Chains A and B, each alone.
Chain A
Amino acid sequence: MSGTRHTISVLVNNQPGVLQRVAGLFSRRGFNIDSITVGTSEEKGLSRMVIVTTGDDHTVEQISKQLYKLIDVIKVVDLSDHPMVARELALIKVNADPSVRAEILGVVDTFRAAVVDISPNTMIVQVVGDSDKVDAMIELLKPYGIREISRTGVTAMMRGTNK
């Protein structure tokens, strides 16, 4: 799909099936989901989903309007219209023989990432940042041999006092 990347924050009732309603809406109407994260919010009974999608203005307007039609959706905000903080966490299991450990730790330090597990031949690197930073970290670790990657997808929030 053409268009730009949008990060949409959706406040929903924490009801069984709400993720299915939202995800089903995207697939049914041909909207794409680059990533989706869900967790509890500041208010009991409500969850916040952060969905990263790509689309032109018309598509994003439709996404917002169609989401609002779901009874369990309370609020939809296109964070991309505002200054925002977007973060993703990735765990990267990389080959790490004792001979290259120091080198990898150097990369990890530069990225202010962390090593959260270490075995005789591998390490798990935890990196937090925007998606570009995570992508860059992965690129730098590739030469050592990546065994496994697990990414959370983006969660995000508007900067400042606005809610």
Chain B
Amino acid sequence: MPAPRRARTRLSCGLAATAVAAGLAAAPLAAVPGRLRPALAWLAALGLVLAAAAALRLGSLLGPALVVLVAEHAVVAVRAGARVDAAAPLVGAGLLLYAELASWAREANPRVRDERAVLTTRAAVVAASTLAAVVVGALVLLAAALPAGEGLARLAVGVVATTATLALVAVVARPTATRAPPG
């Protein structure tokens, strides 16, 4: 694949990620009426700028971009009161899709020629991850709706899940293992 096409891969992934991020940033604006909308619009704009920057130029902004986009949806969720937002699995899947596309854009080095099989597999993994994310989000919402999970039990599950995630943070943040190359 010639270099310009490889550069196009990078650009198209970046633009696709930005488009997904724009959708994620714009969606909550419709759900929030009144005086909160301008503030949320500013938050959406900030999220979009961060997301575009992360996808197109600065990969280190991926975390902050995700945080701002999630914060926007958190505001909407809190404002919704007792009603559970059924679109949350789609938001989760969208966030994952955005993050994967942005990472792909950063990975797609124009100096490296990717074989077609590598690109196809990557696209398949991203698509499958997105679909799986919808399923996982839906399962979470279904689990939340179960009557057995009221009160203390549900809180315990939440605490365990959060603790597990924080443990994951600790695992990921540990020093990297280095193994000498064989031979």
The reply to whether chain A is a binding partner of chain B is no
